[in-house]
Chain A
């Protein structure tokens, strides 16, 4: 892939979601709701509806008031002192006149995982994709099925993963390292 470079960029978060971003949005809505409840409660007293205001104090258990205060305190700390979650995305980027094409690490990782896991003899699989000066390096941690020719399986995985990634992305795969970490027990035949 010509003019290829690896970049780490902030994924724009206005319309994208990830775990940290979603949690922050949820906290913000919770915070807004709690503030609104507090404002309404104080407003009841200010506008002269003190009977309603005091009635709520009597009705609400002290435990609930403590819970309200604690949640408000924690969420305030979150927004006051910790930076909002931003996700950084590792991507392979190719620039052209039309713009940039960024292929995320996650996409390449998924290609490798999918290709390798489809092979007969693979019980379970973990993949890891990294980048080296010579090209991509893919690491496969495999739990193989019992009775499988592990050497043949490994060679097949190396060839297929490299071929699939290159065909899909034009990214050169420098090496596919296969580590057989475990053997799945043979399934009992009735």
Chain B
């Protein structure tokens, strides 16, 4: 896994050293920013991610993939989400792109080249499902 090297302005002269940020950390930042957006029900981690969560392992980078450029100065983020029923998906996706970009750039100094959002499913509230099953049984 390649890591971006972030250096302070005078790192070379004063020997402050380097800062390395793991891809996993960038993915967590992106995941937290995305789940904070209203209209996002969950990140799409698939069956394996779901099993891991049921076993008690909280995966904050679920559904997130980060690709770093060769010079490790910019990144592309891929997110897969489950959207809530009733929201306007393009608006939610646009807000995700904005928040993730600001979050990563603000916390890591990396340039975010693109944030690609895939909406893989729609989630419905439990109350709606229960009402439906009651209606069907009448």
Contacts and interface: CB of A to CB of B under 8 A. Distances in A.
Chains A and B are bound partners: yes
Interface of A: 1, 11-12, 14-19, 21-22, 25, 89, 91, 94, 96, 98-104, 106-107, 110-111, 114, 117-118, 120, 123, 167-170, 187
A114 B116 CA distance: 26
Interface of B: 44-50, 61-65, 76-78, 80, 83, 85-90, 93-94, 97-98, 101, 114-122, 124, 132, 135-136, 138
Contacts of B120: 89, 104, 106-107
Contacts of B89: 101, 103, 107, 168-170
B87 to A, nearest CB: 7
A96 B101 CA distance: 14
Given A14-B65, A110-B122, A99 B97 contact: yes
Contacts of B47: 17-19, 22
Given A100-B114, A101-B93, A12 B65 contact: yes
Nearest to A23: B47
Contact of B132 (A11, A17, A104, A117): A117
B118 to A, nearest CB: 4
9 closest cross-chain pairs (CB), A and B: A17-B46, A17-B48, A99-B114, A17-B47, A98-B97, A101-B93, A102-B118, A99-B115, A100-B116
A18 B132 CA distance: 28
B88 A168 contact: yes
18 contacts: A15-B61, A15-B62, A17-B49, A96-B94, A98-B94, A98-B98, A101-B93, A103-B119, A104-B118, A104-B121, A106-B121, A110-B121, A114-B85, A114-B122, A114-B124, A168-B85, A168-B89, A169-B88
A123 B49 CA distance: 33
Nearest to B97: A98
A16 B120 CA distance: 11
Given A96-B97, A114-B85, 17 more contacts: A1-B90, A11-B118, A15-B61, A15-B64, A16-B45, A16-B63, A17-B45, A18-B46, A19-B47, A96-B94, A100-B114, A102-B119, A103-B119, A106-B120, A107-B119, A110-B122, A111-B122
